[in-house]
């Protein structure tokens, strides 16, 4: 399973993608191993569309966002369960570290709310932005959901700050 934007960079907050269209280098690694791909839904695109700003985890950490993630994940869990029950192997989930939704090992955090039209507010928000060791909200919901069905799937991630730096670790993960 891969985060949506690995196969569709258009879903990312405008200007944030380091590749055009498909992250071909990752897809090539998966292709070379003969592994199929399930594209996870993009929760932010689904909820807020393409004109959204970048967010921090706290802004998505609400019951309604979590419930919406769970709803989006329902058909994915159904497919996964069906594959596993029939003897297929689900190799892993590839998320996007740094994302407030799809981070696996780390996500972005900050005291962000309210009107940021004044320069002071924007400076405060930029200063307050930090990386924290925690998963994004969507990945947390995916983990909870698969645990609910006693499914065990490893999670790995691409580092959003420099996606190309993650190619080696994804290759190593698939070579295990
Ligand atoms: S990291 Fe997740 S939420 Fe962000 S664009 Fe990719 S799929 Fe969407």
Can you give the pTM of this predicted structure? 0.95
Q: Please spell the DSSP secondary structure of the chain, one letter per residue.
A: -B-HHHH-GGGSSTT--SSSSS-HHHHHHHHHTT----BPP-HHHHHH-TTPPP--HHHH-SHHHHHHHHHHHHHHHHHHHHHHHTT-----EEEEET-TTT-SS-EEE----S---SHHHHHHHHHH-EEESS--HHHHHHHHHHHHTT----EEEEETT-GGGGHHHHHHHHH-
Q: What is the pLDDT of residues 28-83, one digit of tens each?
A: 999 999 999 999 999 999 999 999 999 999 999 999 999 999 999 999 999 999 99
Q: What is the pLDDT of residues 116-162, one digit of tens each?
A: 777 677 777 777 899 999 999 999 999 999 999 999 999 999 999 99
Report the residue among 42, 155, 161 best suited for mutation to probe ligand 1: largest number of ligand atoms under 8 A from its CB: 42
Is the CB of residue 42 below 6 angstroms from any atom belonging to ligand 1?
Answer: yes
Q: What is the pLDDT of residues 74-120, one digit of tens each?
A: 999 999 999 999 999 999 999 999 999 999 999 999 988 877 777 67
Is the CB of residue 95 below 6 angstroms from any atom belonging to ligand 1?
Answer: no
């Amino acid at each position: 399973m891969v985060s949506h934007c690995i196969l569709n960079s258009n879903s990312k907050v405008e200007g944030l993608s380091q590749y055009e269209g498909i992250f071909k280098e990752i897809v090539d690694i998966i292709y070379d191993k003969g592994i199929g791909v399930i594209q996870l839904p993009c929760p932010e695109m689904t909820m807020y569309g393409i004109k959204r700003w970048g967010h921090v985890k706290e802004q998505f950490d609400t019951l309604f966002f979590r419930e919406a993630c769970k709803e989006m994940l329902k058909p994915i869990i159904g497919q996964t369960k069906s594959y596993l029950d029939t003897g297929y192997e689900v190799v892993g989930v590839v998320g996007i570290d740094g994302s407030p939704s799809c981070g696996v090992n780390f996500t972005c955090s900050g005291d962000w709310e309210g009107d940021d039209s004044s320069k002071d507010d924007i400076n405060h928000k930029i200063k307050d932005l930090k990386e924290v060791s925690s998963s994004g909200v969507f990945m947390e919901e995916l983990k909870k959901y698969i645990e609910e069905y006693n499914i065990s799937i490893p999670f790995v991630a691409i580092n959003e700050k420099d996606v190309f730096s993650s190619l080696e670790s994804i290759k190593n993960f698939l070579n295990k």
